[in-house]
């Protein structure tokens, strides 16, 4: 069943702000309720860079980052019944146990069953499955997909159709599901609604796709990097705006463009000043702004309470509000049916050795998604 220790090539983050280092890591066999997965591909998300930068209050080192992966079950631990060796799986940083208060509420996808240990870089039993020469290496977001082999709790795996190419559907492990889900699931954008999307990276472009699928009448894409605009237009953005080209706050520009403001806005950057603009460009009386971007330790959002008194709503979305085990396989089916494409997100592919280049490309604004192939 469970097998022995496996030697695995992994990119280890030894300390905040340092480049990742390719190491040979010992990966323990899966314990009770756990699964060892051979990762075939992993996208690089801005949240990986955020944690590596040292801004993440939960950042812990040394760790194996990566949370946007696709892989194949290599072995299973005692008691595992929902996946078998050879199954294709997408790791979930938002698990779904089906039995905690959060899962049972039907109101949220934020399963809390293992949240505490996951936030400390540990498996649910409080230990780690990774080590180098006996030194423990921490897990990351319960996934650690920058490793040939990783171990996850069974509740942190979505079993998906084997026909789906893992080097593309790995993007459903975070970015694409997050953006599409925030629009369709969290905000529930309807036909004819107007939408503003701040930050047109992997998440924002996925929100553009979601808004297009929802038949929004106007999709305003806002970014300071105009090289993103062509793809945004191809995916359905009706207007592309660079705030740097205006001498007044971008929220005023959008309110003027839309006869009083948009029905929905999405912040896909992690910048608290832009979060304020995103709220304040919403229509008085009903406009809703969804925060997706992750802001650093110590940062806070602000606005005049009058903005909320007069009917605007501020909310947030994690993993697009999607329940990973029950709903993510359906996203894969919709992709297989051709309802949306993933290849145009993949601007770069490379082996694990190139992982630091992937971070550089992201910081330089040159990539949408780099996918690491193992």
The binding site for Zn ion (CB under 5 A) comprises 45, 47, 97, 100, 103, 111, 113, 174
Residue 294 interacts with ligand AHE (CB under 6 A): yes or no: yes
Q: Please report how the helices 46-53 and 355-363 are oriented relative to each other, as an axis angle in degrees rounded to 10.
A: 100
Does position 222 bind ligand NAD by CB under 6 A?
yes
Closer residue to ligand NAD in complex, CB, 28/232: 232
Taking CB under 6 A as the rule, does residue 56 contact ligand AHE?
A: yes
Q: Taking CB within 5 to 8 Å according to partner kind, which of Zn ion, ligand NAD, ligand AHE, none is near residue 56? A: ligand AHE
- Does residue 268 interact with ligand NAD by CB under 6 A? yes
Nearer to ligand AHE among residue 64 and residue 250 (C-beta): 64
Alpha-carbon distance of 68 to 45, in angstroms, equals 7
Q: Is 50 in the site for ligand NAD (CB under 6 A)?
A: yes
Per CB under 6 A, does 203 bind ligand NAD?
A: yes
Site string for ligand NAD, 276-305 (x = CB under 6 A): ----------------xxx-----------
Choosing among ligand NAD, Zn ion, ligand AHE, none, which partner's interface includes residue 272 (Cβ < 5 to 8 Å by kind)? Answer: none
- Say whether 46 is catalytic: yes
Which residues here bind ligand AHE, judged by CB under 6 A?
A: 45, 47, 56-58, 94, 110, 115, 174, 294, 318-319
Which residues here bind ligand NAD, judged by CB under 6 A?
A: 45-47, 50, 174-175, 178, 198-204, 222-225, 228, 243, 268-271, 274, 292-294, 317-319, 362, 365
């Amino acid at each position: 069943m469970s097998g022995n220790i496996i030697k695995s090539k992994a990119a280890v983050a030894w300390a905040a702000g340092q480049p990742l280092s390719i190491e040979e890591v010992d990966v323990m066999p899966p314990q009770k309720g756990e699964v060892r997965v051979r990762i075939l591909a992993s996208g690089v998300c801005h949240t990986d860079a955020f944690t590596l930068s040292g801004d993440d209050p939960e950042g812990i080192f040394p760790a194996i980052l990566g949370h946007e992966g696709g892989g194949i079950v290599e072995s299973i631990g005692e008691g595992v019944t929902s996946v078998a060796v050879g199954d294709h799986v997408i790791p979930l940083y938002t698990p779904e146990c089906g039995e905690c208060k959060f899962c049972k509420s039907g109101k949220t996808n934020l399963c809390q069953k293992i949240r505490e240990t996951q936030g400390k870089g540990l498996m649910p039993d409080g230990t780690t499955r990774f080590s180098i020469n006996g030194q423990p290496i921490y897990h990351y977001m319960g996934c650690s997909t920058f490793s040939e082999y990783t171990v996850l709790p069974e509740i942190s795996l979505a079993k998906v159709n084997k026909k789906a190419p893992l080097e593309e559907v790995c993007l459903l492990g975070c970015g694409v599901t997050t953006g599409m889900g925030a629009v369709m699931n969290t905000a529930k954008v309807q036909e004819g609604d107007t939408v503003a999307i701040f930050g047109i990276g992997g998440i924002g472009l996925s929100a553009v796709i979601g808004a297009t699928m929802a038949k929004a009448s106007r999709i305003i894409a806002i970014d300071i990097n105009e090289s993103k605009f062509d793809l945004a237009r191809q995916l359905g953005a009706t207007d592309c705006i660079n705030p740097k080209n205006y001498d007044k706050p971008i929220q005023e520009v959008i309110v003027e463009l839309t006869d009083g403001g948009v029905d929905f806005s999405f912040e896909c950057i992690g910048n608290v000043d832009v979060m304020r603009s995103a709220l304040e460009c919403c229509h008085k009386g009903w406009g809703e702004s969804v925060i997706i971007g992750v802001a650093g330790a110590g940062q806070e959002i602000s606005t005049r309470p009058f903005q909320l008194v007069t009917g605007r709503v501020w909310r947030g979305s994690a993993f697009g509000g999607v329940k990973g085990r029950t709903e993510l396989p359906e996203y894969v089916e919709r992709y297989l049916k051709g309802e949306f494409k993933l290849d145009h997100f993949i601007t770069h592919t490379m082996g694990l050795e190139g992982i630091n280049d992937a971070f550089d490309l992201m910081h330089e604004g040159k990539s949408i998604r780099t996918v690491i192939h193992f």
